[in-house]
Amino acid sequence: MLIRAFLSGTSTLSIVVYTHISPAVLALGYDAMMCWKFLDDETRKGLPEKVVMKKEAEDLFNNEYMVYQHLQELQGKYIPNCYGVTYVDGSRSLILSDVGGITMMDDRMPLMEDDELISKLTCPLESGILLEDVSPTNMLYCDDRFVAIDFQYARVEKNLQAAAEDVDEQVEALIERADQTTALSSIPSQSEKKLECRSMAMHGLCLQVTNEETTS
């Protein structure tokens, strides 16, 4: 479950819960006017308009929070900003910046030369982030760079020289899995093949449909 909180210019906090089914409104209209009016303009500008409140199991939370604390210098550039901790339904939740961006499998991903892609993927990882769940969905492309997210299963390697080989392997795995996913999504399904063949038959271009296709 992912919980997003939206703070508008009128200081109205809207919290939406995203499940695997559909987003559902948890709470709307949190009136913060009394607090907001005492903030100066500079402070208001420093507050994010959109944040992510991430709720997870206690052990996973502790690990992810540790990663964010250790990698503070990367926040806002190669990983999301971590603004602190809050409670949602009695459980601790991280308050993270919403970096936006697109995944590596998105059709909008720009084409890159191999060297450029490897370089951009290496940047957020070479500071010692070792992802145990290497997935293209955990690398978001935004503003001409990749941002790593989801560190509940990550670990931090302080010896950067020792981590270099692991980083290379992770980058290679990310590219391979992204390529596999993209390739699979471009392969027409059996039902699509049937429709195409039957459409061709109607125009006299296909003489028969195989037994396999008609019975499957």
Q: Which two tokens stand for residue 138?
A: 């955990």
Within this chain, do residues 68 and 130 fall inside the same structural domain, yes or no?
Answer: no
Structural element, H or E, at residue 43? helix 41-46
Within this chain, do residues 86 and 119 fall inside the same structural domain, yes or no?
Answer: no
Q: Which stretches of the chain score pLDDT less than 50?
A: 1-39, 184-195, 197-215
Domain holding 44, by residue range, is: 2-97
Each residue's pLDDT tens digit, 7-64: 444 433 444 444 333 333 333 333 344 344 444 566 555 555 566 667 678 888 889 9
Q: Is residue 47 part of a domain?
A: yes
Q: Is residue 152 part of a domain?
A: yes
Within this chain, do residues 77 and 131 fall inside the same structural domain, yes or no?
Answer: no
In whole angstroms, what separates CA 7 from the centre of its chain? 21
Task: For residue 129, give the amino acid letter.
Answer: I
130 forms beta bridges with 155
Q: Where does residue 29 fall: left (phi above 0), alpha (psi -120 to 50 degrees), or beta otherwise?
A: left
Q: Tell the residue number behind the tokens 């459980």, with chain if given.
A: 91
Which of residues 97, 126, 156 is at a domain's end? 97
Distance CA 68, CA 81 (A): 8
Within this chain, do residues 129 and 178 fall inside the same structural domain, yes or no?
Answer: yes
Within this chain, do residues 59 and 12 fall inside the same structural domain, yes or no?
Answer: yes
Q: Is residue 143 part of a domain?
A: yes
With beta carbons less than 8 A apart as the criterion, state whether 146 and 122 touch. Answer: no
Classify residue 146 as exposed, middle or buried by CB count within 10 Å of its CB (0-12, 13-18, 19+).
buried
Q: Which two tokens stand for residue 18?
A: 């995203």
Q: What pLDDT is attached to residue 42?
A: 61
Within this chain, do residues 67 and 146 fall inside the same structural domain, yes or no?
Answer: no
Distance CA 51, CA 94 (A): 10
Distance CA 82, CA 97 (A): 7
Q: Is residue 27 part of a domain?
A: yes
Count of the separate structural domains present in the chain: 2
